Structure 1
Amino acid sequence: MPDPSRRPFDPIRRVRGPLLLTRIGIGAENLTRAFWPFWAILLLSLAAVLLRLPTLLPLEMFWASVLACTGGLLWSLWRGVRLFRWPTAADAEQRLDSTIEGRPLSALADRQAIGAGDPASEMVWKAHIRRMTLRLAEARPVHPDLRLSRFDRFGLRYVALTLFVVAALFGSFWRLDTAMPTTVTGSVPVAVGPSWEGWIEPPAYTGQPSLYLADIPPGPLTVPAGSRVDLRLYGEVGALTVAETVSSRTGEVDSAAEPVHSFEIAKPGTLEIMGPNGAAWDIELALDTPPQIAPEGEVQRTASGEMTQPFSAQDDFGVVNARATIRLDLEAVPRRFGLVAEPDPRDPIELELPLPITGVRTAFTEALVEDFSKHPFANLPVTIVFEAEDAAGQIGQAEALSLNALPGRRFFDPLAKSIIEQRRDLLWARVNGPRVARLLRAVSNRPEEIFTVESDYLRTRFIVRQLEAFGAEGPGDEDRAEIAEAMWELALRIEEGDLSDAMARLRRAQERLSEAMKDGATDEEIAELMQELREAMADVMRQMAEQMQNQNMPQQDMADMQELSGQDLEDLLQQLQELMEQGRMDEAQALLDQLAQMMQNMQMAQGGQQGQSSPGQQALQGLQETLRDQQDLSDESFQGMQGQQGQQGQQGQQGQGGQQGQGQQGQGQQGQGQGQQGQGQGQQGQGQQPGQSLSDQLADRQRALSNELERQRDGLPGIGPGSDEARRSLDEAGRAMDNAEDALRSDDLAGAMESQAEAMDRLRDGIQSLGEELAENQQQGQGQQGQSAGTGGQNGRRDPLGRDQGGEGRLGTRDNILQNEDVYRRAQDLLEELRRRSGEQARPEEELDYLRRLLDRF
Structure 2
Amino acid sequence: MAEQSQADHARAGLIARLGRTRTVVRGAMLVERLWPLALPLVVVASLFLSLAWFGVFRLLPDWGRLALLALFGICGLAAVWPLRLFRAPSAGEIDRRIERANQLEHAPVSAQSDRLAGAEDAFSAALWREHQKRMAERLGHLHGDLPQTSVPRRDPWGLRALAALLFVTALAYSTGPYGGRIADAFQPPAATPAAPARIDAWVTPPAYTGRAPIFLTADANRERQAFTVPQNSIMAVRVSGGSGEETLSFIDAGGGAHAIAPEGPAQAAGAALSFSQMLSGAGTVSLSDGGLEMARWQFSVVPDTPPRIRFAGEPGRAVNGALELAYEIEDDYGAVKAEGHLALATPAREARPLFEAPELPLSLPRRGSQDGAARTARDLTRHPWAGETVTLTLSATDAAGQTGESETKTFLLPQRPFTNPLARALIEQRRMLALDAGRQRRVQALMDALLLWPEETFDEPSHFLLISAVRSRLGTAGDDEALRGVVEDLWEIALIIEDGDLTAAERRLRQAQEALRQALENGASDEEIERLMDELRAAMQDYLREFAERALRNRDFAESQGGEPMRRSDLERMLDEIEDLAKSGARDQARDLLSQLETMMNNLQAMRPQPGQGGGQQSEMRQQMDRLGEIMRRQQELMNETFRLDQFRRGQPGQEGRQPGQQGEEGQGQGGMSPGELAEALRGLQQGQGGLRDDLQALMEALEGLGIRPGEGFGEAGEAMGEAEQSLGQGRGERAVGEQGRALEALRRGAQDMMNQMQQAMRGQQGPGQEGGRQDQAGRDPLGRPRATTGPDFGDTVDVPDEIDRQRAREILDAIRRRLGDALSPDLERRYLERLLDIQ
Q: TM tier, shorter chain?
A: 0.3 to 0.5
Give the TM-score normalised by the residue count of structure 2: 0.36
- Greater Rg over alpha carbons, structure: 2
Give the TM-score normalised by the residue count of structure 1: 0.35
